[in-house]
C-alpha cells in the first residue's frame, strides 16, 4: 500500500505541473505574510497495524489472527495556522477533529472467521504540528512535502465495556503519531487551494490490555494495536 501511494504521488504531481502552460500569475500576499490562517476539510481511512501473540502460546492458544476489514471513509475538519520562517519553509499547526471507524475480524488457524466482528469508532481531537518544505512556484501552483507529529485524543475511547454491544476491545484515548505527505498549492484569484495526501502512523500501542469479562480471547490474542490513517485534505487559505 505504501509503495502504491508513493508511486501515485511521484507520477501525479509532476504530471500536473508539466501540463501547465505559461500564464499570468495570480498575485496574493498570503505567501509573503509571516502568519496567516485558513481552514481545512478532508476524508480519511483509519486502519490498524495489528501484532498477534504467538499462535498456540498461553495468550493465543487457538492461533487467532486479527485484521482490519471494510475500511470506512471518515471526515477531518481543521483550522490552519501557518507561520513562515523562510521562503521555502512553513511551520503549520492544524488543530481540529476527525471521525472514523475500524472493523476488526478474527480468524482461526484455518482462516475461518471466529467470533464477532469488532466495530471500533473513534472521534479524535487532534493537534498536528508540521513542517512544510515548498518547491519553486510554477505559474499558479507549487508542490511541497510535509512531515511532523500529531497528538490525538479519542473522545470515543471507553472506560468500561458496554454490555449491550458485542465489542470486546477497548482503546486508549491518547495517541502520538508521526505524519508524512505531499501536496500542491493552487493560487486562485482570491484564495489559495491546497490538495494534500498524508499518511499518519501511531507510535504507541492503543489497545487496553484488560480482557472483557467472559471474552478474554479477543484482547489476549493481540500483542499490540498501532493506529494508521490515510488522509486526503483540501486546505483553503
pLDDT tens profile 114-168: 998 999 999 999 999 999 999 998 889 999 999 999 999 999 988 888 888 899 9
From the candidate CATH numbers 3.40.470.10, 3.40.630.30, 3.30.450.20, 2.40.160.20, the one assigned to the domain spanning 37-236: 2.40.160.20
Residue length, the chain? Answer: 237
Look at residues 227, 228, 231 and name the one whose alpha carbon lies nearest to residue 171: 227
The reported pLDDT for the residue numbered 84 is 93
Residue with cell 507549487: 142
Domains of the chain by residue range: 37-236
Residue 47: pLDDT over 50: yes
The reported pLDDT for the residue numbered 231 is 97
Contacts of 11 (CB under 8 A, 6+ apart): none
Checking 11-17 for CB contacts under 8 A at 24+ apart, the result is 13/143, 13/182, 13/184, 16/141, 16/184, 17/138, 17/141, 17/143, 17/184
pLDDT single digits (tens) 9-30: 444 445 444 444 556 677 666 7
The reported pLDDT for the residue numbered 21 is 52
pLDDT single digits (tens) 155-183: 998 888 888 889 999 999 999 999 999 99
Helix-, strand-, coil-residue percentages of the chain, each rounded to 5 = 10, 55, 35
* Burial class of residue 200 in the structure, from the number of CB atoms within 10 Å of its CB (0-12 exposed, 13-18 middle, 19+ buried): buried
Contact 207, 224 (CB under 8 A): yes
Amino acid at each position: 500500500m505504501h509503495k502504491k501511494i508513493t508511486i501515485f504521488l511521484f507520477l501525479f504531481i509532476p504530471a500536473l505541473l508539466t501540463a501547465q502552460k505559461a500564464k499570468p500569475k495570480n498575485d496574493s500576499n498570503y505567501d509573503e505574510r509571516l502568519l496567516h490562517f485558513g481552514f481545512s476539510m478532508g476524508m480519511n481511512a483509519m486502519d490498524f497495524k495489528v501484532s498477534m501473540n504467538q499462535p498456540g502460546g498461553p495468550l493465543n492458544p487457538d492461533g487467532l489472527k486479527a485484521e482490519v476489514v471494510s475500511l470506512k471513509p471518515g471526515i477531518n475538519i481543521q483550522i490552519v495556522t501557518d507561520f513562515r520562517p523562510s521562503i521555502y519553509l512553513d511551520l503549520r499547526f492544524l488543530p481540529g477533529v476527525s471521525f472514523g471507524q475500524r472493523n476488526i475480524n478474527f480468524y482461526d488457524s484455518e482462516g475461518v472467521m471466529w467470533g464477532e466482528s469488532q466495530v471500533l469508532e473513534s472521534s479524535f481531537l487532534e493537534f498536528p504540528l508540521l513542517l512544510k518544505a515548498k518547491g519553486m512556484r510554477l505559474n499558479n501552483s507549487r508542490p511541497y512535502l510535509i512531515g511532523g507529529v500529531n497528538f490525538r485524543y479519542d473522545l470515543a475511547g471507553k472506560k468500561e465495556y458496554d454490555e449491550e454491544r458485542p465489542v470486546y476491545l477497548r482503546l486508549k484515548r491518547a495517541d502520538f503519531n508521526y505524519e508524512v505527505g505531499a501536496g500542491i498549492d493552487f493560487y486562485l484569484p482570491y484564495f489559495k487551494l491546497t490538495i494534500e495526501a498524508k499518511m499518519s502512523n501511531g507510535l504507541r500501542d492503543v489497545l487496553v490490555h484488560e480482557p472483557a469479562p467472559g471474552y478474554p480471547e479477543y484482547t489476549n490474542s493481540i500483542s499490540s494495536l498501532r493506529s494508521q490513517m490515510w488522509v486526503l485534505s483540501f486546505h483553503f487559505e
